[in-house]
Amino acid sequence: MSRLRRAWLVALALLLASCGGGGPWQLKDIKGVVPDLAFNLTDDSGRRVSAADYRGRTVLLFFGYTNCPDVCPTTLVKLAAALKDLGPAAHGAQVLFVTVDPKRDTLEALHRYARAFGSHVTGLRGSAAELRELAKRYRISYSYGTPDASGNYDVTHSSAVFVFDAEGNARLLVMPDSGEKAIAHDLKLLLGARQG
Amino acid sequence: MRGILCAALFAFALPALAGGAAVADAWLRYIPGGTPAAGYFTLSNQSDKSLSLVGAECADFGMVMMHRTLERGGIFTMRPVHEVTVAPGKTFSFAPGGYHLMLMRPKHPLRPGGRLPITLRFADGSSLPVEFVVKSLQAR
Ligand SMILES: [Cu+2]
């Protein structure tokens, strides 16, 4: 299954590479390629939420887990820096951090983690079934390693950040090598289009 | 002050100080709330023999491991690393998105701007006490 998902990602990357070049975007344009925003999860304050709760905002959807001290913070810090570049316009943007490790990531842990990165970040958690459904929708891969003597285990996860416009349409993909400037540039366009 | 004292104590407690090993830019990104922190530094081998880093210890964390973040086809994973060998005259960097010290189970909250003593252990049995600067989340 994970091989299948990886194959899908590679296919997506190839497709995107072949049709890139046009348009004003510096990030990967995924309009019409990735499904629109839809989920049923619990936010880090314990509220049941769905995509409808974030209509009207530009949503940055990111999958990770709090026991990830290297890649996840690097991405969240990069997103925060890009949003800071936007000034007050950033209020129209919302980062949703979905944990792929709901077993260890309690709502409380998720809340502390998300808040540490700023008020624009909200942690989301689902049951195993809810997470599976969401992962399937966005072709997100995650898996767990074997726990060690103290119960710690590795989590493997996709790194991309999906960007959705105010209507919930998938628009852009932030990759690990996407720069802060490119993210800020595209978010500014997306947020501007919303107001225009 | 406490850090310096600790480093000095560590130095006395350990059998031998690593000769020719030097560390620069040692820092760690601390995330409040009990989740693991990542430690980064640049290790240089100023001796004429190869230098093998085999682990690290820190009294303020329950466990310290060496990890490497790997990316393949957009999928990230962290893998334990058991040994990092630096050739004579060469340097090796632990940096975001690559190698890091995985500092697990913090015993108490850390203060950004503070210092944390961590001891690096080498294959020949020697070790090197290093002071890591605790940086806030926004550090990169
Ligand atoms: Cu790690």
| Contact call for B38 and A141, based on CB within 8 A | no
Q: How many angstroms separate the CA atoms of A37 and A35, rounded?
A: 7
Q: Is the CB of A9 inside 8 Å of chain B's CB atoms?
A: yes
Of A7 and A158, the structure prediction assigns the larger pLDDT to A158
- Mean pLDDT along residues A54-64: 95
Measuring CA to CA, which residue among A51, A96, A104, A105 is closest to residue A76?
A: A96
| Contact call for A74 and B96, based on CB within 8 A | yes
Domains, chain A, with CATH or none: 3-191 (3.40.30.10)
| Contact call for B74 and A175, based on CB within 8 A | yes
A42 touches A28 (CB < 8 A): no
Alpha helices by DSSP H, chain B: 2-13
| Contact call for A70 and B96, based on CB within 8 A | yes
DSSP assigned state of B19: S
B2-135: CATH number: 2.60.40.1890
**What is the residue-wise DSSP string for B50-66?**
-EEEEEEE-TTEEEEEE
- Mean pLDDT along residues B3-25: 62
DSSP assigned state of A133: H
The pLDDT value recorded for residue A181 is 94
Structural domain boundaries of chain B? 2-135
Gyration radius from chain A CA atoms:
16
- Position B11 pLDDT exceeds 50: no
Which chain B residue is nearest to residue A152, measuring alpha carbons?
B104
Residues A100-133 pLDDT 10s: 999 889 999 999 999 888 889 999 999 999 999 9
Of A180 and A147, the structure prediction assigns the larger pLDDT to A180
- pTM of the entire structure? 0.80
State the pLDDT confidence band at B14, using cuts at 50, 70 and 90: very low
Structure tokens at B119: 């001891």
Of B36, B63, B72, the CB nearest to A69: B36
Q: How many angstroms separate the CA atoms of A103 and A126, rounded?
A: 10
Structure tokens at A190: 């997306």
Q: How many angstroms separate the CA atoms of A156 and A174, rounded?
A: 18
Residues A126-169 pLDDT 10s: 999 999 999 889 888 777 777 777 667 777 777 789 999 999 99
A19 touches A33 (CB < 8 A): no
The pLDDT value recorded for residue B3 is 46
CA distance B24 to chain A (A): 19
- Complex ipTM > 0.85: no
Residues B23-77 pLDDT 10s: 999 999 988 878 889 999 999 999 999 999 999 999 999 999 999 998 877 778 8
Using a CB-CB cut-off of 8 Å, the residues of chain B touching A157 are 75-77
Using a CB-CB cut-off of 8 Å, the residues of chain B touching A73 are 29, 31, 38, 137
Mutate to test the interface with B, among A30, A70, A146 (most CBs of B within 10 A): A70
